[in-house]
Chains A and B, each alone.
Chain A
Amino acid sequence: MTASTGGQAWAAQILTRPVPRSLPAAGGEQPPFRAELSSRSHVTFVRSPGSDVGPRPVHTPLTGHNLFLDLDLDLGGSGVDGVTLRSLTADEIGTGPLLADGTSFAMPRSPDLILSPDLEPVAGRAVDAFEPLEIPQYEVLLLRGVPPQARPARDAYGRRLRPAPAGGTGRVVMAVVTDEPDVLHWRLIAEVSQGGRTWRLAWDLAVTARPVMRKFVPGGNGPVDVPVHERFPQHWVPRWPAASVPLPRGGDDPVRLPAVRQVGRVVAADGALTVTVDECEVPQDPDGFPGLPAGSRLWVYSSAGLASVGLTEVTAAVLRTGDAPQDPVHSELVDLIIGMYSAALHQGWRFAVGDVLGFPRPMVIGRAEVAGALIAHAAGDAAWFPAGWPPLLLVLLFEGEREVAGPHGRGRVLGSLAAAQGCFPYPWWFDPDRAPVVDLARYEGSTILGDVATAVHESVLVLDGPGEVAMIVDGGQRAAIAGIWQQVPPRFALIPRYTTMTGRVRVWTPGQSEPREVVAGRPCSRDQAGVHFLLFIQGGDAVTVDQLEDGYVVGLPERDWHAMGAHLRSGAGREWVSSGGTRLKLLFSGG
C-alpha cells in the first residue's frame, strides 16, 4: 500500500490534539467549569506550516476519529453542583478542497521494514505514543444528503454502546463520521448548564473521508482506494442506520453529573492491579439515576489492571446504608476483584457477560450475605452508567438469585431486580437492605423450568410482540446453536441473553398469573418485549406457541423439530404459524 496524497510520515507522536473554542462565551464570561475539546485520529492529512497555514501544521482527521469533550467542575471550593450536558449538535459550515503535504500515521507496533536507519527512532516514538481510539458515547454523522446528527452510538441491534458521561470529571467521547471526499468544515455545539445557567460552547472542526491508502493488486486493473477503517480499524463505522434515532437536541437527553470523590485505593499484585473506591453522591435532579433518591451515596469499586491478564475491567457499586462500614477499602469486594485477577493470571480464567460467580462462602456487606455475582454490561444496556468506570459490572446476588441466574439465565433475575428497584434495565448498585427478588422455596415449586434441561446462550435474543415471537440468532454463532440443538433432549428450554433492546422486558414471580413487563423511561417499542426462555417440546401434530411465565412454550412436531435444526445450521430464516395463530420466527443477525 502507499499513501495516496503526498508522502507519509511517522510524526504522530501526539495523537490527541486540543481544539480551541470558536465562539466566546455569552457576555464574555467564562463558565465556572472546564470544557475542553480534543481530537484523536490514527491518521491525518497534514499541511505544513507556511504563510497560508500559519506557524503550526494543520491536521485534517479522517472519518471515524474520536473527539473528547472534557467537562470539569471548578468552583473554587464553594461547593459542588451538577454540570449537565444539555445537548450536542452538529452543523455543517461547508466543504473545501483537501490540501495536504503528507499524511501522519499512528503506529500500534514497529513496522516490519524500515528503509532508513534515520527513521527508526521516529517510528519508535510513534509506537510509544500510540493511543487506541475509544468506543464513542455519541456519533456525529455528517453524511451527504442527510441532516447532520449527533446521536448516541449504538450497535447493529440499536443498543447503546457506551454510557453517557457522568462523574466529577466527565468525558464525552464522540466519533465523527463523514462520507465527504473533500474537506468538510463543521461546527460542534454543546449546551452545558450549571447552577441554573446554560452556556453554549462551539468549536469549528474539519474532517474528510478521502481514502488515505491505495492498494495495488498484481494482475488487477490499477490501484484501488482503501477505506480508512480497513487500514485503521479503530476508526468508527456506524452500525445503526442513520436517521433511526432522533437527535438529542434541546435537553432531550440530559445527563446529570453526580459528585464523585475518591475515598480509597488498593494496589495489589505488585502494582499490576489497582482497585479504586469512589464515593458517588446522587444529585438533586437524579434523571440519570432511576430508583435512587437524591443524596444517596454509593461506594463504587473500579479495577484497573485486569486487562493485563486478559480480562475486561470491572466495577461494582454498593449503596451506603446505616450499617455500612466506615472503611471502604476493607471490603470483600476488593478481595473479589483481586481474586479475579489471580484466577486469570494463574489459571487462565476468563469472565464474560452472562457468567455467574457463586461464592463458596457468603460475602458480607452491611447486614447482607451476598452469595454470588452476575457479570453484566456496565456500558451498553445501562445508558446512564457513569463514564470513566469500567465496562463490566458485577451485579451482586443473594443466594436464591444466584441459584436461578445460573441455569435459568441472567434475564430472569435482572428483570426482577429492575422491577423491584425501578431501574431499567437493571440497577447498577447493590442495596444491602433490599429484599431478595427470588424466594427459592416458592420459586422451585412454581416455575415450569424447574425440571427442564436448559441451555443458556448469550448469542440468542427472543422478543415477543402482538401475535408473534421472534428468536434472533447471531449469525456468527449459528453453528454453536445448531450444535446445541442436535444434542438437546426433546424437552428443553433455550435461555437467551437479557433482551433489552426494545426498552421492555417480561418479568415473572411465583404466583403471578398475568403477563407483566418492566419498561424503560423511554422505550423504543410500544409492544415488543424481551422474554427469558423458549421451552421447546418435541411432539404433537401441530406447532403450538403459548405464553407462560416470562417466556413461551413451543411445541414442535418431529418434522418441524428437525426443520428447526436444519435452519439453524443453514442460517436461513423460517417462520412457523402455530395452531393458535401465533407466529414463531427464526431470524439471523449479522455474521
Chain B
Amino acid sequence: MRLVRRVPAGRRAVTRLALGVSVVDEFLFDGLEWWELIDPADDDEQPAAALVAVRPGETIVRLVGLVAPGGRTDLAVQVLISLVDALRAGPARRLVAAPLAHGEELLQAAGFGPFDDGSFAVEL
C-alpha cells in the first residue's frame, strides 16, 4: 500500500537525486509544493517511487518523475496506477504528465490521455 505525502524538507535532495529531476522549473514557481509516492514501510533513505508538483491552491498535479527498474514498463505502469489511486484520496482533480518525458505509451497504459487544453492527463 503506497501513499502520497508532502516531501519533507530533509528528503528533497534524496528524492531529486533518485528521480533525476530537473530543478529548473523551481525557477518559475514560487511556493511549488512537492508530493511523493512512498511505501510507509520503507525507511527514510528509500527514494520515493514517484514525485509530483502542484502550485498552491491548484487542483492540477504535475508528474515530475517516477522510479522503475530499467525497461520494466509494467512496473512503471504499476507505480503510475498507485500514484493515481493515492492522489484520488486527496483534493487533486487531475494529474498531468509530459508524454515527451515519460513516454506516451507508458502513460496511456496507466490511463492517461489527451485533453482539450493540450495536456496529457488523467482525471482523479
A binds B: yes
Q: B residues 13-32 with Cβ under 8 Å of A?
A: 21-22, 24-32
Contact assessment for B97 and A348 in the assembled complex, using a CB-CB cutoff below 8 Å? yes
In the complex, what distance in Å separates the CA atom of A121 from the CA atom of B94? 43
- Interface size grouping (class) on chain B: 20 to 34
- Given the known inter-chain contacts A344-B98, A346-B101, A348-B96, please indicate yes or no for A360 contacting B24, CB distance below 8 A: no
Instruction: Tell yes or no: B9 within 8 A of A by CB.
Output: no
| Smallest CB separation, A32 vs chain B (Å) | 45
Q: A346-B64, A348-B98 are in contact. Are A339 and B117 (CB under 8 A)?
A: no
Q: In the assembly, what is the distance between CA of A86 and CA of B33, in Å?
A: 53
Give Cα distance in the complex from A348 to B28, angstroms.
14
Which B residues between 77 and 119 are near A, CB-CB below 8 angstroms? 96-101, 117-119
Chain A 318-347 interface residues, beta-carbon cutoff 8 Å to B: 335-336, 338-340, 342-347
B27, B96, B121: which contacts A336 (Cβ < 8 A)?
A: B27
Among A339, A343, A346, A348, the residue within 8 A (CB) of B120 is: A348
In contact, A350 and B100 (Cβ under 8 angstroms): no
Residues of B within 8 A of A449 (CB): none
Chain A proximity mask over B23-53: 1 for CB below 8 Å, otherwise 0? 0111111111000000000000000000001
**A209 close to chain B: CB less than 8 A:** no
In the complex, the answer to whether B28 meets A346 with C-beta atoms within 8 Å is: no
Which residues, 424 to 442 on A, are CB-close (under 8 Å) to B?
Answer: none
Interface assignment of B62: CB less than 8 Å from any CB of chain A:
yes
Q: A310-B118, A336-B28 are in contact. Are A348 and B22 (CB under 8 A)?
A: no
A372 close to B (CB within 8 Å): yes
- Chain A: minimal CB distance from B19 (Å): 10
Does A135 touch B at the CB level, under 8 Å?
no
Question: Complex formed: what's the CA distance from A336 to B24 in Å?
Answer: 9
- Residues A347 and B25 in contact, CB atoms below 8 Å apart: yes
B122 to chain A, nearest CB (A): 12
CA distance A344 to B119 in the complex (A): 10
Q: How large is the interface on A (under 10, 10 to 19, 20 to 34, 35 or more residues)?
A: 20 to 34
Residues of B within 8 A of A335 (CB): 24, 27
Q: A157 an interface residue at 8 Å Cβ cutoff?
A: no
User: Assuming the A-B contacts A346-B101, A348-B62, are A360 and B25 also in contact, with contact meaning beta carbons closer than 8 angstroms in the complex?
Assistant: no
Nearest-CB distance from B107 to chain A (Å)?
10
Chain B nearest CB, measured from A493 CB (Å): 16
Answer yes or no: A349 CB below 8 A from chain B CBs.
Answer: yes
Q: Which residues of A contact B96 (CB under 8 A)?
A: 347-349
CA of A347 to CA of B115 in the docked complex: distance in angstroms?
15
| Residue contact B24 to A347, C-beta cutoff 8 Å | no
* Cβ-defined contact, A347 with B27, below 8 A: no
Asked if residues A358 and B30 are in contact (CB atoms below 8 Å), the reply is yes
- Identify which of residues 359-373 in chain A touch chain B, using a CB-to-CB cut-off of 8 Å: 359-360, 372
Residues of chain B contacted by A309 (CB below 8 angstroms): 98, 100
Cross-chain contact A350 with B117 (CB below 8 angstroms): yes
Q: Which residue of chain A lies nearest to B25 when distances are taken between CB atoms in the complex?
A: A343
Residues in chain B near residue A347, CB distance under 8 A: 25, 53, 62-64, 96-98, 101
User: Can you list 29 A-B contacts (CB < 8 A)?
Assistant: A309-B100, A310-B118, A336-B27, A338-B24, A339-B24, A339-B25, A342-B24, A343-B25, A345-B98, A346-B64, A346-B65, A346-B101, A347-B53, A347-B62, A347-B63, A347-B98, A348-B63, A348-B96, A348-B99, A348-B120, A348-B121, A349-B62, A349-B96, A350-B119, A358-B29, A358-B31, A359-B27, A359-B28, A360-B31
| Besides the known contacts A335-B24, A348-B119, 16 further A-B residue pairs in the complex with CB atoms under 8 A apart | A336-B28, A339-B24, A342-B22, A342-B25, A343-B25, A343-B28, A345-B101, A346-B22, A346-B25, A348-B120, A349-B25, A357-B29, A358-B29, A360-B29, A360-B31, A372-B30
A-B complex: 4 closest residue pairs judged by Cβ atoms: A358-B30, A348-B98, A343-B25, A347-B62
